[in-house]
Chains A and B, each alone.
Chain A
């Protein structure tokens, strides 16, 4: 089933998170928005975090390179990394076509429910993107 981007939450730094309940825990699946991928323009490298790493909302969890520019990726939520999309760094050419399903980067077991309070809903994120041009 395709992920509905209008139901996701977004960080100002362009990462999306899809929150779901799994076995009584909140799991956030995280990726990069289509808007960000358009601006990044042809990713050539991506570095993923290690499994088990504890992240705080806003903390760097990885890096990408495009057009000789290295940009950090920031976690939109706090929690422990429970899965990473290992195939993604070798398949970055597919990312722009499918940022919300194939393009998931990592899954985090959310440790602080209120860490999502500062995130944007789809409408607010769209507004930010429009203002950024």
Chain B
């Protein structure tokens, strides 16, 4: 649901994006920075790509998930928890790489940005292929592949939607979105290794004979995203305004127990 872009800012060139280099932060800060970036992209129209990790193992709940459903997964029920603003199922952020991409949205279009799911996942699959990992979207995994987005599983990585990346039968990449009037935030998680808090979910390195790291993959992902989205990702950083906004959003929303327990 969307209107034409409003606001006082002068729109920037959507073909030149900002690349925020990988950082590690706490759960509330990570979520707040993504929201602050989405707010900025809604005004500026300039895409932003960011990679990040988490200072401690953290469970992120999908926006509509009930907090009480944590009891469905006992291995993760004691680690820190944060509620995302994006949909989908819960994710254990431990031995994984999280990315976020915020893009302006063309006027007059509603619903999920399916093309963005496809393009980002294709970029990550291509980066994985350079290390011998054969990752394919769930929709291409053969006859009988069906969507399991019926929310019956608590964990995102136990659900299946068409663009999820699958390696050797295991889901290794899942993403979710939050729309504003004029932009979309998509963030996702690439499992690198199984976590002790979700041991049933192997990462890409567990499925390879030679381990790879997030740092190995990021340059290829950026290059591929540049090609498929037509965006020249230039190294950047958070603006002072974005830092201030993120701090405020963290305090007022993601750090609040009421936010986490709102459902």
Contact = CB atoms under 8 A, between A and B. Distances in A.
A32 B2 CA distance: 12
A74 interface: yes
How many chain A residues sit at the interface, stated as a range, is 20 to 34
Contact of B111 (A11, A63, A69, A128): A69
B interface majority secondary structure = loop
Given A14-B1, A132-B106, A36 B86 contact: no
How many chain B residues sit at the interface, stated as a range, is 20 to 34
A129 B106 CA distance: 12
B112 A13 contact: no
Interface in A9-57: 11-15, 32, 35-36, 39-42, 44-45, 47
B131 interface: no
A41 B113 CA distance: 11
A11 B4 CA distance: 11
A9 to B, nearest CB: 15
A70 B63 contact: yes
Contact of B110 (A36, A45, A47, A58): A36
Given A65-B87, A68-B87, A69-B86, A44 B151 contact: yes
A73 B110 CA distance: 10
20 contacts: A12-B3, A14-B1, A14-B2, A41-B111, A42-B149, A44-B149, A67-B117, A67-B161, A68-B149, A68-B174, A68-B176, A70-B63, A70-B177, A71-B110, A71-B179, A72-B180, A74-B1, A128-B108, A132-B107, A133-B109
Chain A to chain B: the 8 pairs with minimum beta-carbon distance, closest first: A132-B108, A69-B112, A39-B111, A68-B88, A69-B177, A68-B176, A40-B111, A45-B64
